[in-house]
Structure 1
């Protein structure tokens, strides 16, 4: 199918609505059938270089759709300002719960979330920062940005953004003719915030991974290499003599200042580490207990929290979202289930998510059993994009994941693409990744 015909046939395709794509479409047409050959070459090269995603069964390639998404620098800065403000609100909320023993949202949320850490009550993390790394998922509906959820525990994906950009630059430089593309180079934001909370000018930083069976292990290695920080597994971490050390091949046991954790279960995998953190022997990012703001029931209350803290969250819309704990809300979903996306409060990576409009009604049975563990969000028929899949162009749904390092938003933005016909874009659900260009 020709790309221009596909776009004409879909009224709310981003490539049709935004004139920023006009030159790109010319460049794609000039390539003709070679775009499909290059797409296969990119994906083969990516797989050969280990650009993979681990599932419960095996490593699979992370599919790359070489047709880039484009946003203007003005749009990027608008989103950046919004996310910096939202990050402040979420951090302030966590601080209020743990340091001020206040519950600004319904207390049943705090009492029932699996992410609440009672030992954090009264503890002040270094620099009062709980959220060092924050991933926000955003879609556009007729050009207007909507935020779908906050990811605050161990958000992943920035390496996929860098690699997709790199492969497109390497194999299809002709696509960028006529554009001034901003090269993503903001990984130093991550290093800077980790160094800042360490209290040292030259800290020893460890990225803590549970190993090569973690779905995002490719990213763990990528960040370790790019930032020059130690990649370690739980068995490499020891708590001894009022300090935390990491076992290394070259230098033996080395004192650790900061642990950038990419694992959830610290208590089981690294016994004693959280106690060492509470005693001030090491800094952990993101802080234990941060997940209370990651709970999808908390998402419902973020606009209220922003007003409470005197912050304006402008330029991005939060769609209608509500908890099913209240009987009247549960009845809304039961009466008109196809209007909503159902999400489990502690779900992640597409797990615990059901779009009743696209799927079946089996999720309703689960809701009846434990309705307090679900939220509902209005289904958004958000803007689609054009994707290269094998030897043709298809209309697909895609989101944007922005990464904020405390108060700075990285220019490396991940665009995830659902399989044809699906609004679910997560890699674990079979999705692809797109390169993203910010045009200056």
Structure 2
């Protein structure tokens, strides 16, 4: 943005550069007319403010925090960096660390009185190499689980503690070894522990112990405690408790609707994809995420984890690497990706492996729940849209490329291919089909 204070040859308002005269309003350091903030541009102000940020109270620059400063200056909006370095509460925390008034460790950040600011600084310190990485979602689960167990009565706690240690917590730690735990995985673990506690509470209210549990009580419990989460997570606890000889073997009758039944008609699918391609009132970020789901049947958890290296664009085409081989994006999507990158990265990105959908926290990608909310606000049900996309792709691609593109297993891909062989007109009937599967808890 430049100051329009001059006239060109046609007497039209313009900037100094367009008028061909020396600028009177320019940055006193670099001379640019762009993006001014007082007498300097935002870039030069950010350079000064971040230098002040890592300077201690004695006027000495703490060189140990130079990586943090450089990380801040890589952010793509210098105005935000300027604001952060001067007024944000997170700057107060950094100043305390720079002056050695606070120890540089995770415990300090955990105890900081502004949790959101602490999380922002933690991500910045971790991305700068000043603080070792820590799985934050796993830590949040551990903290929650400790407080949750503390609130349980002794007889329930004696069962829930080993269930947490050897089943729920153990499975989460196995996942965390492969990759940082997602927020959804953390809440999945919470649900499993909460459901087990509710079942034990119902047993106690019925005058039964866990060893006295029976099929009649289980069926009554399921009727009285409604909700999909209870039916989904209770089998895990029943299986674990039976394996450890804490209760008899019980079974749950699962009436699962065919997931492929909850889809839209072909006309609705085409209409929605066209809307995502053309509706400029929807933010580009949301449109791109919706098209990745609608055209290529991608999961949102996979979409947010895409790096810039996975989306290779030039002036004519864009290559998308969802699997081991690339596909060419539709021309409309190519233009949309170019627009999104220009808006998100005003300056060229120095990290080609950075996240395509970056988070406000340094080194982290956006959360899939944010994209889910954004799509829901414009009337897009991602589950239905992905189902329609899978059916469309399954009718065109062989099984192996379909698995590579979408991440489906072979058996699931074959199932979608069978659905794709039917007419789109059969979808309303598919919605009413049910597949009943009574499974014994092992």
TM bucket (normalised to shorter chain) is under 0.3
Structure ranking higher in strand proportion: 1
Q: TM-score, normalised by structure 2?
A: 0.26
Which structure's CA Rg is the greater one? 2
Which structure's residues are more often helix, by fraction? 2
